[in-house]
Amino acid sequence: LEKIWLRVDEDNTQAKKSYENAGFVCEGLMRNDRLRQGKFIHRNRYSILKEEYESKKVAYKNIM
């Protein structure tokens, strides 16, 4: 496994902060990517690479 990626609604600031604190990096904005309650919304794509995860592994153990 080389990379884990996810998408998060642009207005979900709490989730974005959590992913960033866990080491995920925002790769970009996916415009009008999802239909929510009859309106299209933007989503951000985040990812973490294997080497980034490995370098944070000790920190992950301390928070779990």
pLDDT at 52 > cutoff 80: yes
pLDDT at 55 > cutoff 90: no
pLDDT at 62 > cutoff 80: no
Q: pLDDT for 12-39, tens place per residue?
A: 999 999 999 999 999 999 999 999 999 9
All domains of the chain, ordered by start, with CATH?
A: 3-63 (3.40.630.30)
pTM confidence score = 0.84
* Residue 43 burial by Cβ neighbours in a 10 Å radius (0-12, 13-18, 19+): buried
* DSSP 8-state code for residue 37: T
To the nearest whole number, what is the mean pLDDT of the chain? 92
